[in-house]
Amino acid sequence: MKHNLEIRNAIKDSCFFTWQIADSLGVHENTFYRWMRTEMTDQKKAQVMSTIKKLKEKSTRGDD
């Protein structure tokens, strides 16, 4: 069983790379991969999902 399936699916659907999400969170991509190994807390999941949403909105507006 893979942990954080909701986040994995959101990343896949977002068309962003994990390093872009990690960068937006202010962590190294290896740290983000470590987070993905075990089930995240609800608070951390919300933070990641919010970051993905913000990246989507930013790309839709055309901001760089």
Count of domains for the chain: 1
54 assigned to some structural domain: no
Q: 34 in a domain, yes or no?
A: yes
Query: Do the beta carbons of residue 6 and residue 39 sit within 8 Å?
Result: no
Whether 33 is covered by a domain: the verdict is yes
Classify residue 55: in a domain, yes or no. no
pLDDT digits over 20-29, tens only? Answer: 999 999 999 9
Does 56 map to a domain? no
Indicate whether 59 belongs to any domain. Answer: no
Measured CA to CA, the distance from residue 41 to residue 55 in angstroms comes to: 21
- Res 64: pLDDT: 59
Q: What is the pLDDT of residue 62?
A: 75
Please say if the pLDDT value at position 1 is more than 80: no
What is the domain range of residue 20?
Answer: 5-47
Three-class DSSP category at 40: coil
Predicted pLDDT of residue 2: 87
6-64 confidence digits (pLDDT tens): 999 999 999 899 999 999 999 999 999 999 999 999 999 999 999 999 999 998 887 65
Q: Is residue 58 in a domain?
A: no
